[in-house]
Amino acid sequence: MKKLAVAATQILLLLMIALYWQYDSVETQLFSRPSIIIPRVVELWHGVIGLPPLWRQVSDTLQATLLGLALGIGLGFSIGVVFAEFPVIRESAAPYLNAINAVPRVAWVPVLTMMFGFGLVTKIIMSALIVFLVVFFNVLDAATHAPEHLLRNVRALGGSRWASVRDVRIWVGLGALMAALPSAVALALVGVVFAESLAAESGLGSLMFNAMHANDTRDLMISAIMLAAIGVVLAGAVHVLQSWLAMRLPQDLRGDNHE
């Protein structure tokens, strides 16, 4: 019953916003209107001169986001856990990782474009880089501060470093990863949009950038709405994944968000 009430309230709010947007004194030169945008969506979906079809642009953005997210999570988690177990490696790499983290994210787009050119690879690497930094620092912090009594128990039983990583640090890192997932997903999409706006010929970021320069509020609002829809879908998927992981993690090994 509660879920039904929440869903009904959300739909009602969406309808109220749409009606206000359509019929109130909203500046159409800045925000357009639903009655203007919907025919443009149909037109863009099939493709217009100078622009790829909208379905392809949505697909390109979503594909780059998912691939960058997977790559960034995989590298960030594995390297974070390994660095937590080997303090010499961790302390040696710390200045370089902090330097990379200190550079504004958007500044990496021109560098990556020069290295990998315009297209999917640049978008994936840009997204993966941002996600990697978020996941890595969260997992590293949690795994480094893993419960000492558990690590002592592993050593007392004759366990190797690999045993400490496998039986303790990975599980603590998974808890931290759960906490970092919502931020990682949002930043993965941000990274793709950054790259598309400056270094791509297709994608919602490219559509938004071109619309801004052409002063076309229809395409600007369409790209923003599509990005919001992708964000909502990904956030829902993350919530399901978090719930699934939470049921499989011991309570005392669930990490907090260390951002």
Q: How confident is the model at residue 253 (pLDDT cuts 50, 70, 90)?
A: low
68 vs 109 pLDDT, higher one: 68
In a domain, 155, yes or no: yes
Quote the pLDDT of residue 173.
87
Quote the pLDDT of residue 70.
95
State residue 97 phi and psi, 5-degree precision. -65, -40
SS3 letters across the chain = CHHHHHHHHHHHHHHHHHHHHHHCCCCHHHHCCHHHHHHHHHHHHHCECCECCHHHHHHHHHHHHHHHHHHHHHHHHHHHHHHHHCHHHHHHHHHHHHHHHHCCHHHHHHHHHHHHCCCHHHHHHHHHHHHHHHHHHHHHHHHHCCCHHHHHHHHHCCCCHHHHHHHHHHHHHHHHHHHHHHHHHHHHHHHHHHHHHHHCCCCHHHHHHHHHHHCCHHHHHHHHHHHHHHHHHHHHHHHHHHHHHHCCCCHHHCCCCCC
> Per DSSP, what are the bridge partners of residue 139?
none
> Per DSSP, what are the bridge partners of residue 8?
none
In a domain, 244, yes or no: yes
Contacts of 110 (CB under 8 A, 6+ apart): 198, 199
In a domain, 31, yes or no: no
pLDDT over 90 for what percent of the chain?
25
| Number of domains present in the structure of the chain | 1
CATH of the domain at 244: 1.10.3720.10
In a domain, 202, yes or no: yes
**Confidence check: pLDDT of 255 > 50:** no
In a domain, 259, yes or no: no
Average pLDDT score over residue span 173-184: 88
C-alpha–C-alpha distance, residues 162 and 79, integer Å: 14
Q: How confident is the model at residue 58 (pLDDT cuts 50, 70, 90)?
A: very high
Quote the pLDDT of residue 256.
46
In a domain, 1, yes or no: no
- Among 37-46, 143-152, 242-251, which stretch is predicted with the lowest mean pLDDT? 242-251
pTM above 0.85, yes or no: no
In a domain, 101, yes or no: yes
C-alpha–C-alpha distance, residues 76 and 191, integer Å: 16
Q: How confident is the model at residue 252 (pLDDT cuts 50, 70, 90)?
A: low
In a domain, 18, yes or no: no
180 vs 50 pLDDT, higher one: 180
**Confidence check: pLDDT of 211 > 80:** yes
Instruction: Say how many CA atoms lie within 13 Å of 11 toward its Cβ.
Output: 6
- Among 21-25, 45-49, 132-136, 170-174, which stretch is predicted with the lowest mean pLDDT? 21-25
pLDDT over 70 for what percent of the chain?
93
Give the model confidence (pLDDT) of 157-166 as tens digits: 777 777 777 7
Q: What is the residue range of 79's domain?
A: 46-253
Quote the pLDDT of residue 258.
42
Q: How many C-beta neighbours within 10 Å does residue 7 have?
A: 10
